[in-house]
Chain A
Amino acid sequence: MKIPVFRTALVATASFLPISLLLLIIFLAVYSWPAIQYNQFHFLWTNDWNLGNLYGNPVSVNGHQIMPGAKYGIWFLVVGTIASSVLAMLIAMPIAIGAAYFLSEGIRKTWSGPLSLFVDLLAAIPSVVYGLWGYALLVPLFGHTIFPFLAKTFSFIPFLNGEAGSGYGLLTSAFVLAVMIIPLISATLRESIQMTEPALKEAGLSLGLNRLEVFWHIVLPKLRTVLIGVGILALGRALGETMAVLMVSGNALNYLPNNIYAPISTMAAFIASQLDSALQDPTNMAVEALSEIALVLLLITVVVNIAARMMLWMAKVR
Chain B
Amino acid sequence: MLYRLKKELSRSVKGAVMVSALGLAGIYAMPASAATISLLETGSTLLYPLFNLWVPVYTKMNPGVQITTQGTGSGTGIAEAISGVAQIGASDAYMSDAQIKMHQNILNIPLAISIQMINYNLPGLNNKHLKLSGPVLAGIYSGKITNWDDAAIAKLNPGVKLPNHKIVPIHRTDGSGDTFIFTTYLSDTTPAWSKSVGYSTTVSWPAVPGGIGAEGNPGMVQALKTTPYGVAYIGISWKKPVEEAKLGLAMLENRAGNFVLPTVENAKAAAGEMVSKTPADERISLVFAPGAKSYPIINYEYAIVSKTQAKPEVAAAMKKFLNWAIDPKGGNAPHFITAVNFVPLPDSAAELSRKQIAEIH
Contacts and interface: CB of A to CB of B under 8 A. Distances in A.
Contacts of B203: 50-51
B233 interface: no
A202 B98 CA distance: 76
A71 B197 CA distance: 12
Interface stretch (B111-119, B211-219, B315-323): B211-219
Interface string A268-284: 00000111111110110
Contact of A279 (B97, B175, B213): B175
A135 B96 CA distance: 35
A89 to B, nearest CB: 25
A134 B14 CA distance: 56
- Among B74, B98, B166, B222, the most chain A Cβ lie within 10 Å of the Cβ of B98
A255 interface: yes
Nearest to A67: B98
A252 B208 CA distance: 9
Contacts of B149: none
Contacts of A53: 198-200
A165 B229 CA distance: 11
B227 A276 contact: no
B214 A56 contact: no
Contact of B226 (A69, A140, A276, A283): A140
B292 to A, nearest CB: 29
B188 interface: no
Contacts of A144: 226
A52 B95 CA distance: 15
Interface string B292-323: 00000000000000000000000000000000
B168 A276 contact: no
B210 interface: yes
A262 B222 CA distance: 18
B76 A276 contact: yes
Interface residues on B, range: 35 or more
Interface centre among A49, A69, A166, A274 (most CB of B within 10 A): A166
Nearest to B96: A55
Interface in B175-225: 175-176, 198-207, 209-215, 219, 222-223
Contacts of A143: 226-227
A166 B230 contact: yes
Contacts of A229: none
Given A55-B199, A135-B222, A253 B97 contact: no
B327 interface: no
A278 B75 contact: yes
Contacts of A251: 173, 212-215
A50 B203 CA distance: 7
A54 B96 contact: yes
B212 A277 contact: no
Contacts of B207: 47, 252-255
Given A57-B98, A277-B175, A250 B74 contact: no
Number of chain A interface residues as a range? 35 or more
A82 to B, nearest CB: 19
Interface string B320-349: 000000000000000000000000000000
Interface in A260-302: 262-263, 265, 273-280, 282-283
A274 B175 contact: yes
B174 interface: yes
Interface string A83-121: 000000000000000000000000000000000000000
Contacts of A273: 173-174, 213, 215
A210 to B, nearest CB: 46
28 contacts: A50-B204, A54-B96, A55-B96, A55-B198, A56-B96, A57-B97, A57-B98, A58-B98, A135-B222, A165-B210, A167-B226, A246-B173, A250-B213, A252-B213, A254-B207, A255-B207, A262-B209, A262-B210, A274-B173, A276-B76, A276-B175, A277-B75, A277-B175, A278-B75, A280-B95, A280-B200, A282-B96, A282-B98
Given A253-B207, A276-B73, 15 more contacts: A48-B204, A51-B204, A53-B198, A55-B96, A143-B226, A143-B227, A144-B226, A166-B210, A246-B215, A247-B215, A250-B213, A277-B175, A277-B200, A280-B79, A280-B175
Interface of A: 47-51, 53-58, 67, 69, 71, 135-136, 139-140, 143-144, 163, 165-168, 246-247, 250-255, 258, 262-263, 265, 273-280, 282-283
Interface of B: 72-76, 78-79, 93, 95-99, 101-102, 166, 168, 173-176, 198-207, 209-215, 219, 222-223, 226-227, 230
